[in-house]
Amino acid sequence: MKHMNIKVRFSKQNGKPEWRMNGRSIMGLAIIMGAALSTAPVSAQESPESLVAEALQNNPEIQFYQLEMSAVRASTRNDGALPDPVVSGSVGRIASRNPGPNQPLFEGMTWSVGVMQNFEWPGRRNLRKAIADGQVELAETGLHAFEAALAARVRGEAWKLAAAQRKADVAREVADRYRALRETLIQRDLAGITPKLELRILEATEISLRQRAIDASLKAKESGEQLNFLLGRPQGNDIEVALEMNELSPAPSLDSLLASARKNNFDIRLNEAHIRQQGFRVELAENEGRPSISVGPEVARENGSSRDTFFSMGVSISLPLWRRNSHDVEAARIREHQARTLLELAVREAGREVTLAASSYHMHLDEMANWSPEVVENFRDAADLADRHYRLGAVNASTYIEMQKQYLEAVESWLDARYEAVQSASLLEELTGVRLLQNP
């Protein structure tokens, strides 16, 4: 074991004592220890917006959709290209005899080779290319829609986790205050029925608050596990979220929000892209009623009574005799009409959701406008004041208990209102693309 030698010596300059440990100045050691402590890792709270950014980068499901979009792009690269040429050939034997009696029989090989390139009716390849590009557009729009929904869900779970943690802390704080007061009262001589009843009321209220804290902690744990899943983190990882007081911007008018939703809503954009797809399919079905033409050279060789070589240009065209295309065109037009009906339903559904979310957002903003920024601290100070004066006998038990209860309920109501406002703002952003949450 190494011993520490502490010595005192007097400075030659000012004659004051200077403490030294193992030959080093204690003041210097204190500075070194302070620097070491300052560089020690500290678990910092995470903000909801930082969690959103992490989810958009690491979420396993979003990676699946990104790979799916890459697969759609890869599968549509050949759409619109010319079909591969067709090589055909034949080989056989020829037997030939010149006219007249007693003519010899000549036998030999015969063969032919031809290459045919199919050329579709003009415009058909462009329609197929447009349909393929539309598939990529649908995939990209679906990916953006999932990203917006993921961001809203992560933001909501983060706020729910932070609010639940705060509720649990306040419930434990009030419960600890009840326990400390109850232990103080137990040490006194409780004469009369009223002090004994007050003691039992404090004990029962503390039990209720402990259970309330447990319920809030379980909700926080549930939200934490949801966040771990959405972020791609290991399950069981503890997350502590800072309650960011985002600046909630006043929402635009309902007509402006509905117009933004008509332009930016992902469900509406998906249905509009689907209508464009069906329009191209109708044109393609009409185009496919026209024949395709195959053209290509052919060479043939016969080795019979003479050696003959034939060069020719072959042309083939389909005859629409048995298969009528009118039924395919009719089916494509029906699907286009269905797509337009789905678009109308999407517009109405988006309008309904925007109206409800805007009403909720306005109501919570109006309610929070009536609260002072220090409302939670004011109730906490009042709860502390009631605790001190109850110990002095200046406040009765009912007032004390009611003050503690109102402190807890005020914190919960404030957190719930803020959470609902953030949820409504996130939903409006997802539905309309209008930014309402501003980072502090």
Separation between Cα atoms, residue 210 and residue 205, nearest integer Å: 9
How far is C-alpha 255 from the chain's CA centre? Answer: 27
Question: Measuring CA to CA, which residue among 150, 163, 55 is closest to residue 414?
Answer: 163
Asked whether the beta carbons of 26 and 19 are under 8 A apart, the reply is yes
Residue 163 has pLDDT above 70, yes or no: yes
Separation between Cα atoms, residue 127 and residue 120, nearest integer Å: 11
Give 274-305 pLDDT, tens digit per residue. Answer: 898 888 888 888 877 777 788 888 888 887 66
Residue 88 has pLDDT above 80, yes or no: yes
**232 CB-near residues (< 8 Å, 6+ apart):** 55, 58, 59, 60
Asked whether the beta carbons of 212 and 171 are under 8 A apart, the reply is yes
Give 28-43 pLDDT, tens digit per residue. Answer: 433 333 333 333 333 4
φ, ψ at 326 (rounded to 5°): -65, -35
Give 298-310 pLDDT, tens digit per residue. Answer: 888 887 667 778 8
Domain at 84-119+291-324: CATH architecture: Single Sheet (2.20)
Residue 97 — very low, low, confident or very high, per pLDDT cuts 50/70/90?
low
φ, ψ at 111 (rounded to 5°): -150, 160
Is the model more confident about 120 or about 237? 237
* pLDDT at residue number 419: 86
User: Considering only 189-198, 327-336, 345-354, which range has the smallest mean pLDDT?
Assistant: 189-198
Highest mean pLDDT among 98-107, 185-194, 239-248, 364-373: 364-373
The stretch 4-18 carries a mean pLDDT of 44
Residue 214 — very low, low, confident or very high, per pLDDT cuts 50/70/90?
very high
Asked whether the beta carbons of 337 and 274 are under 8 A apart, the reply is no
pTM above 0.75, yes or no: no
How far is C-alpha 231 from the chain's CA centre? Answer: 10
* pLDDT at residue number 376: 78
Asked whether the beta carbons of 303 and 108 are under 8 A apart, the reply is yes
* pLDDT at residue number 14: 45
* pLDDT at residue number 395: 80
Which residues partner with 211 through β-bridges?
A: none
* pLDDT at residue number 337: 92
* pLDDT at residue number 433: 85
Residue 188 has pLDDT above 70, yes or no: no
Residue 356 has pLDDT above 90, yes or no: yes
Question: Measuring CA to CA, which residue among 243, 253, 175 is closest to residue 208?
Answer: 175
The two structure tokens encoding residue 230: 């959405």
The superfamily (CATH) of domain 48-80+134-289+327-363+372-438 is: Outer membrane efflux proteins (OEP) (1.20.1600.10)
Separation between Cα atoms, residue 127 and residue 72, nearest integer Å: 17
The stretch 156-177 carries a mean pLDDT of 89
Separation between Cα atoms, residue 373 and residue 348, nearest integer Å: 38
How far is C-alpha 76 from the chain's CA centre? Answer: 26
Give 48-76 pLDDT, tens digit per residue. Answer: 888 888 988 888 888 888 888 788 778 77
**168 CB-near residues (< 8 Å, 6+ apart):** 213, 214, 216, 217, 220
Instruction: Give the number of C-alpha atoms closer than 13 A to the C-alpha of residue 307, restricted to the C-beta side.
Output: 0
Separation between Cα atoms, residue 382 and residue 378, nearest integer Å: 6
Question: Measuring CA to CA, which residue among 348, 439, 330, 408 is closest to residue 52?
Answer: 439
* pLDDT at residue number 250: 80
Q: Which secondary-structure segment (H or E) carries 183?
A: helix 124-186
Residue 350 has pLDDT above 90, yes or no: yes
φ, ψ at 394 (rounded to 5°): -85, -15
Residue 116 has pLDDT above 50, yes or no: yes
Q: Is 77 helix (H, G, I), strand (E, B) or coil?
A: coil
Is the model more confident about 177 or about 38? 177
Q: Is 182 helix (H, G, I), strand (E, B) or coil?
A: helix
Is the model more confident about 324 or about 69? 69
In sign, the C-alpha dihedral spanning 424, 428, 429, 434 is negative
Domain ranges for the chain, please list them: 6-35, 48-80+134-289+327-363+372-438, 84-119+291-324
Asked whether the beta carbons of 113 and 298 are under 8 A apart, the reply is yes
